[in-house]
């Protein structure tokens, strides 16, 4: 019987931190009064630490493997399908969340990395999978072929959807 994977949130600033709660905790622990600026700086530090921890966890999950991101980019003209292969998970995440204010990164129930990132024009929604060695060979063969009729997007779509060319992350590394 296959083990059911739980959805695991690695980073989420959509809800943000509760200003009053952080201020109360700071003042209880330090027995002094904090200015609003000090509280906001502390919240910024908490978020930066949460971000670094999420990236470190993703690096542990994906190792030095290439990854493929597949999903949609939200723009002022609507949502557009998008897919790209990246050398590292960090490069993929940075591309998915570029210019975004609100970010959520999860390992979803099927074992893919799920990214939701909102910016002033819309929301980017991507799933990321680890690329296998067979994929790199398949992609290179397509890339250097003169006779192919498939677009790069079609090739990346095939890679993302294939258990031979890409794989979910090993969630056992999270526990």
pLDDT at 5 over 70: no
Which residue do the tokens 């680890």 mark? Answer: 130
Q: Which of 169, 142, 151, 149 is nearest to 82 (CA)?
A: 151
pLDDT at 175 over 70: no
Neighbours of 39 (CB within 10 A): 19
In sequence order, which residues have a C-beta less than 8 Å from that of residue 141 and are 6 or more positions away? none
Q: Which of 127, 93, 95 is nearest to 110 (CA)?
A: 127
pLDDT at 105 over 70: yes
Domain extent listing, the chain: 1-175
Q: Which pLDDT tens digit goes with each residue over 7-59? A: 899 999 998 889 999 999 999 988 889 999 999 999 999 999 999 999 999 99
Confidence (pLDDT) at 159: 86
Query: How far is residue 4's CA from residue 156's CA, in Å, rounded to a whole number?
Result: 27
DSSP of 3-52: PPPPPEEEEE-SS---HHHHHHHHHHHHTS---HHHHHHHHHHHHHHHHH
Q: What pTM did the predictor assign? A: 0.87
């Amino acid at each position: 019987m296959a083990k059911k994977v739980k959805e695991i949130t690695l980073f989420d600033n959509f809800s943000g931190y509760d200003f009053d709660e952080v201020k109360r905790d700071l003042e209880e622990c330090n027995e002094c009064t904090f200015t609003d600026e000090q509280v906001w700086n502390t919240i910024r530090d908490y978020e930066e630490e949460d971000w670094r921890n999420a990236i470190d966890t993703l690096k542990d999950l994906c190792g030095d493997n290439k990854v493929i991101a597949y999903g949609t980019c939200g723009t002022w003209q609507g949502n557009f399908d998008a897919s790209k292969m990246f050398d590292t998970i960090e490069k993929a995440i940075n591309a998915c969340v570029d210019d975004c204010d609100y970010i959520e990164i999860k390992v979803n129930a099927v074992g893919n990395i799920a990214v939701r990132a909102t910016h002033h024009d819309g929301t980017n929604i991507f799933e990321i999978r680890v690329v296998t060695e067979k994929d790199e060979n398949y992609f290179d063969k397509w890339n250097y072929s003169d006779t192919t009729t498939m677009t790069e997007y079609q090739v990346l779509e095939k890679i993302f959807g294939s258990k031979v060319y890409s794989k979910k992350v090993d969630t056992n590394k999270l526990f």
